[in-house]
Homo-oligomer: A and B are copies of this chain.
Amino acid sequence: MPKSKPRNSKPKLQNDLILRAARGEKTETTPVWMMRQAGRYLPEYQAVRDEHSFFEVVGTPELACKVTLQPVERLAVDAAIIFSDILVIPQALGLEVQMVPGKGPQFPAPLTEPEEIERLTRDPDLDATLGHVFEALALTRRRLDGRVPLVGFAGAPWTLMAYMVEGGGSKSFRQARRWLWAHPEDAHALLGTLADLIAAYLVRQAEAGAQVVQVFDSHAGLLGEKTFETFALPYLARIAERFKAAHPGVPAIVFAKGAPYALDALADTDYDAISLDWTMDPQAARNVVGGRVALQGNLDPCALYAPPEKIRRRVGAMLEAFGDEGGHVANLGHGMLPDHDPRHAAAFVDAVHALSGRVRAEA
Instruction: Give residues in A with beta carbon < 8 Å to B.
Output: 104, 169, 171-172, 174, 177-178, 180-182, 221-225, 227, 258-261, 278-281, 300-307, 310, 333-334, 337, 339
CA distance A338 to B5 in the complex (A): 53
In the complex, are the beta carbons of B180 and A258 less than 8 A apart? no
In the complex, are the beta carbons of A181 and B281 less than 8 A apart? no
Nearest CB in chain B to that of A174: its residue: B337
CB contacts (< 8 Å) of A172 on chain B: these are 334, 337
CB contacts (< 8 Å) of A171 on chain B: these are 104, 169
A-B residue pairs in contact (CB < 8 Å), sample of 9: A172-B337, A174-B301, A174-B337, A178-B339, A181-B302, A221-B279, A222-B279, A258-B279, A260-B260
* Minimum distance in angstroms from A298 CB to a CB of chain B: 9
Contact among B181, B227, B278 with A310 in the assembled complex (CB-CB below 8 Å): B181
In the complex, are the beta carbons of A181 and B303 less than 8 A apart? yes
In the complex, are the beta carbons of B279 and A224 less than 8 A apart? yes
Nearest CB in chain B to that of A173: its residue: B302
Nearest CB in chain B to that of A277: its residue: B224
In the complex, are the beta carbons of A302 and B178 less than 8 A apart? yes
Q: Supply 11 further A-B pairs (C-beta < 8 A) apart from A169-B171, A174-B301, A181-B310.
A: A172-B337, A174-B302, A177-B305, A178-B305, A181-B300, A181-B302, A221-B258, A224-B279, A224-B281, A227-B300, A260-B260
CB contacts (< 8 Å) of A337 on chain B: these are 172, 174
Contact among B180, B227, B300, B339 with A224 in the assembled complex (CB-CB below 8 Å): B300
